[in-house]
Every structure is written in structure tokens, then in C-alpha cells.
Chain A
Amino acid sequence: DVKVTQSSRYLVKRTGEKVFLECVQDMDHENMFWYRQDPGLGLRLIYFSYDVKMKEKGDIPEGYSVSREKKERFSLILESASTNQTSMYLCASSSASGGDETQYFGPGTRLLVL
């Protein structure tokens, strides 16, 4: 079974803090993704990565950056957290081979920025 883990289920941070959200997958997947989920807006793609050190902007990259130094780990960074970044953050991974585009999700991190 694919296992995607996220470092925290709940996180409370202050405005202006630098925030790191970590995601780890154990299936040797090439692709990793960060989404945020908000009531009424659904799930939106922030960034994704298709290889180590490679990244692509998604639909809402403003205010975020990412890091992928190792294949199994994909970090989302909020350089200076703001209250409008209070949200549920979901990480996902998928394989680049075999024609399977299925994305497998982690349990999510609920971030509150005060």
C-alpha cells in the first residue's frame, strides 16, 4: 500500500513566522504535489514536483515555495505566514511510470495562522 505521511495533523503559527510542512512517501514515486483545501473553494494545486530539485507552479503558488532535496520528501514553505494561509494542506504523490496517474494523499495538515 502507498503510504504518504505529513509531519503534523494540526499546526498553529503566528503571522510572519516561517512555516515548514513536510511530506514523505514510501513508494518511490517521482511526482509529489501540494494542495490546499478551503470551504467553498475546494482543492487547489499550489506546487508540484516531478523529480528531485524540480518544481512547477500550480494554480495558487503566491506566498509559497517548495523544496525537494530527496525523492521521498517534499516540503511546502510559507516564508512569512499570513492569516489568509489558514487552511487544510494536503500532500499527494504519484508514479511517473506504468501509465497510472493516480494520486495518493496524506492525512492532511490543518494550519491555523493567528
Chain B
Amino acid sequence: AQTVTQSQPEMSVQEAETVTLSCTYDTSENNYYLFWYKQPPSRQMILVIRQEAYKQQNATENRFSVNFQKAAKSFSLKISDSQLGDTAMYFCAFIPYSGGGADGLTFGKGTHLIIQP
């Protein structure tokens, strides 16, 4: 069984600042995927970024990047130049590689990020 831990229930930063959200996980799997999802007040769960465990290079998507440390089982999300629209719950999620995707995601409890004007 896998576990995902997000140790920061809530964070608040000023607009345009850089913020890092933490995530650690525990698994005995060697090949897996990690995700960050964003859930704004509308409640729609939106994919932010994805990392494949066999790839050493950290994923980036515009202002969003990750620091993936496989040995430490750490997967943090960095948001640069934060914007008011980044205010949301952020969930870290894990899925073992199965070749067919037929498995559920294991989610952390989430971090509520507030961007202050």
C-alpha cells in the first residue's frame, strides 16, 4: 500500500512570490507516476503537472515545476510568480505503473494555498 503525506495544511503568500508545496510518499514500487492536482473553489480537479518516476529530469509546466527526489521519496511543487488564480487546494497523488492505468490514485490530504493581493 502507498501513502502520500502533505505536511502543510495551509500556506499563504503574496502575489508574485514563489511558493513551494511539500509532498512525501511511501511505496515499495520502483516505477510509478506522481501528480499535482489543483482544486479551486469551483471544485473541478485540474491536473497541474505530472512526473514519471523513471525520468530523472524534473517536470516543468510554465510557472510550475517539481523537485523530484526518488531516493528521498519527495515530490515538491514550486509555483513561480504566483497569481491570484493560483488560490486553490493542491493535492499530491501517486499511482503505481501498471501498463494499463487500471488503478486508483492515492492522494495526500491537500494544501490550501492562498495568494494574497
B50 close to A102 (CB less than 8 A): yes
B43 close to A108 (CB less than 8 A): yes
> CB-CB contacts of B81-112 with A at 8 A, as 1s and 0s?
00000000001000101111111110111100
Knowing A42-B109, A43-B91, A43-B107 are in contact, say whether A105-B102 is a contact too (CB < 8 A): no
B104 close to A48 (CB less than 8 A): yes
Knowing A42-B107, A102-B50, A108-B43 are in contact, say whether A48-B91 is a contact too (CB < 8 A): no
B28 surroundings in chain A (CB, below 8 A) = none
Closest Cβ–Cβ distance, residue B43 to chain A (whole Å)? 5
Residue of A nearest to B105 (CB): A103
Complex-state Cα separation, A105 to B46, whole angstroms? 7
A88 close to B43 (CB less than 8 A): yes
B108 close to A42 (CB less than 8 A): yes
> CB-CB contacts of A82-103 with B at 8 A, as 1s and 0s?
0000001010101111011111
Max count, chain A CB within 10 A of own CB: residue among B42, B97, B99, B103: B103
B43 surroundings in chain A (CB, below 8 A) = 88, 107-108, 110
Residue of A nearest to B97 (CB): A101
Complex-state Cα separation, A59 to B1, whole angstroms? 11
Knowing A101-B33, A102-B47 are in contact, say whether A96-B102 is a contact too (CB < 8 A): yes
**Residues in A lying within 8 Å of B, measured CB to CB:** 30-31, 33, 35, 40, 42-43, 45, 48, 50, 56, 58-59, 88, 90, 92, 94-97, 99-108, 110
**Residues in B lying within 8 Å of A, measured CB to CB:** 33, 35, 37, 42-47, 50, 91, 95, 97-105, 107-110
Pull 12 A–B residue pairs with CB atoms less than 8 Å apart, ordered by A.
A31-B101, A42-B91, A42-B110, A45-B104, A48-B104, A92-B105, A95-B101, A96-B100, A96-B101, A99-B99, A102-B50, A110-B43
